[in-house]
Amino acid sequence: MDDNAPVGASVFTTLRWDGGRVAWLEEHLNRLRTHAKRLGIDWPEDFNERLTSISPIGEGNLCQVKLTRAGQIELTLRQTHYSPSPLCAISHAAPRFTRKAQGTKHAAWSPYTDSRTAAENAGADIALLVHDDAVVDGDRCTPIILDSDGVAYAPSLEGGGIDSITLSILGPAIEAAGIPFRYARLTETLLGRASELIVVGTGIGVAWLDEIDGHNVGIDSPGPLYETCYAAFATALETAWSTMG
Domain count, the chain: 2
- In this structure, the chain runs to a length of 245
Q: Are residues 123 and 177 in the same domain?
A: yes
pLDDT for residue 1 is more than 60: no
pLDDT for residue 156 is more than 60: yes
Q: Are residues 66 and 134 in the same domain?
A: no
**Contact (Cβ atoms closer than 8 angstroms) between residue 107 and residue 95:** no
Q: Are residues 28 and 130 in the same domain?
A: no
Confidence of residue 5 (pLDDT cuts 50, 70, 90): confident
Q: Are residues 68 and 15 in the same domain?
A: yes
**Contact (Cβ atoms closer than 8 angstroms) between residue 49 and residue 170:** no
User: What pLDDT score was predicted for residue 215?
Assistant: 94
pTM: 0.95
pLDDT for residue 203 is more than 90: yes
Q: Show which of 80, 97, 115 is a domain's final residue.
A: 80
- Asked whether residue 17 is domain-assigned, the answer is yes
Q: Are residues 171 and 57 in the same domain?
A: no
Q: Show which of 31, 57, 80 is a domain's final residue.
A: 80
**Contact (Cβ atoms closer than 8 angstroms) between residue 75 and residue 20:** no
pLDDT tens-digit map of 70-87 = 999 999 999 998 899 999
Q: What is the CATH number of the domain that holds 64?
A: 3.30.470.10
Least confident of 29-33, 38-42, 158-162, 180-184: 158-162
- Asked whether residue 66 is domain-assigned, the answer is yes
User: Which residues, other chains included, contact 216 with Cβ-Cβ below 8 Å and sequence gap of 6+?
Assistant: 210
**Contact (Cβ atoms closer than 8 angstroms) between residue 2 and residue 95:** no
Confidence of residue 185 (pLDDT cuts 50, 70, 90): very high
Query: In the chain, pLDDT over 90 holds for what percent of residues?
Result: 92
- Collapsing DSSP to helix, strand or coil, 54 comes out as coil
- What is the average pLDDT across 119-138? 97
Strands 21-23, 10-18: pairing kind: antiparallel
Q: Are residues 45 and 135 in the same domain?
A: no
Q: Are residues 119 and 232 in the same domain?
A: yes
Q: Are residues 102 and 71 in the same domain?
A: no
- Asked whether residue 1 is domain-assigned, the answer is no
Q: Are residues 53 and 112 in the same domain?
A: no
Q: Are residues 92 and 76 in the same domain?
A: no
The H or E element spanning position 28 is helix 25-38
**Contact (Cβ atoms closer than 8 angstroms) between residue 129 and residue 106:** no
Residue 144: closest CA among 133, 153, 135, 134: 153
Q: What is the CATH number of the domain that holds 117?
A: 3.20.10.10
Q: Show which of 51, 80, 109 is a domain's final residue.
A: 80
- List the domain range (segments joined by +) for residue 19: 7-80
Q: Are residues 94 and 156 in the same domain?
A: yes
Number of helices (H) and strands (E) in the chain: give both, helices first: 6, 15
Q: Are residues 23 and 136 in the same domain?
A: no
**Contact (Cβ atoms closer than 8 angstroms) between residue 101 and residue 8:** yes
- Asked whether residue 214 is domain-assigned, the answer is yes
- Asked whether residue 2 is domain-assigned, the answer is no
